[in-house]
Structures are given as structure tokens and as C-alpha cells.
Amino acid sequence: MEIILKEDINNLGDKDDIVVVKNGYANNFLIPNGLAIPATTSAKKVLAENLKQRAHKEEKLRSDAQNIAEQLQNKELKVGAKTSTKGKIFGSVTNIQLADAINKKGFNIDRKKISIVQKEVKEIGKYQAIIKLHKDVKVELEFEVVSE
């Protein structure tokens, strides 16, 4: 069944994408929860008109995200964590601490847009994170976990 997504859904698509899913998934979950609408002919025409009007705004957002990505790539980021004498972190470093460290550098990045490449950050060292600034713009950021 063809549907038009009304919100970004992980592993399925972004808002206003036309995707094909199984009938049961669309009829029992996506449409009743307001996450999608059926992709009828009239709905596709309305979507095309809305996308045309939104294209200019979208280009500006994308260029702004690209500028932020270029500025972030040159930044050296250090995240402080309480550690034992052996270098193990009490707890772990998550995207929340990473977002706080980025925001202290003068950027306004939501923690939900940050994903850490390694499964768990539980020791002092260098790690990588991917920040999704826009659906077309992603930036890889290296950060170092240091002892406080």
C-alpha cells in the first residue's frame, strides 16, 4: 500500500515521503496514529503543491545546516566525565552529555539528532558521533572523553 508520511519515522522515511508498506502496517498502525495518510491521487496532487511551495524554505534550511556542518567539522570537542583511577567512567557518556558540550561551543543541536557510533562510551579516549542536521546533511564529529 502506498502512503504519504506525515512525520519522520526511523527506518521508513522522512516527512512527506511516499513509501510502500504492507497493508496491515498502514491500516492498523500508521494511519490510525496519524503518522501517515493513504497516497490517493488527490493527496499526491496536494503534496506536490505543498512541496513546490516549501522548496525555497527547504533550500535555506539545508544551506544553514551545511554551514553549521562545516563549522562543526573543525571543532575539537572534549566531554568531561568522572572516572576511576584506571580510566573507567562511572556510568557512560551519552548523547545528552555530548549535546551539552556542543551547545557550550555556541551551537544549538538537539540531543535527538546525535548518535554515537560506538555502542557504549565507558572509557577515556576518542570516539565518533554522527549528527543529523538536516535530512540531506550529516556530519561526523570526533570527540574526546577526558577525566574531570
Spell out the per-residue pLDDT of the chain, length 148, in tens: 999 999 998 889 988 899 999 999 999 999 999 999 999 999 999 999 988 888 888 888 888 888 888 888 877 888 888 888 887 888 888 888 888 988 888 888 888 888 888 878 888 888 888 889 888 888 888 888 888 7
Does the domain at 75-147 match CATH 3.90.1150.10? Answer given as no
Superfamily name with CATH number, domain 2-68: Ribosomal protein L9, N-terminal domain (3.40.5.10)
pTM of the model: 0.62
Domain residue ranges of the chain, discontinuous segments joined by +: 2-68, 75-147
Task: Tell me if domain 2-68 and domain 75-147 are identical in fold.
Answer: no
Q: DSSP readout, 1-49?
A: -EEEESS-BTTTB-TT-EEE--HHHIIIIITTTTSEEE--HHHHHHHHH
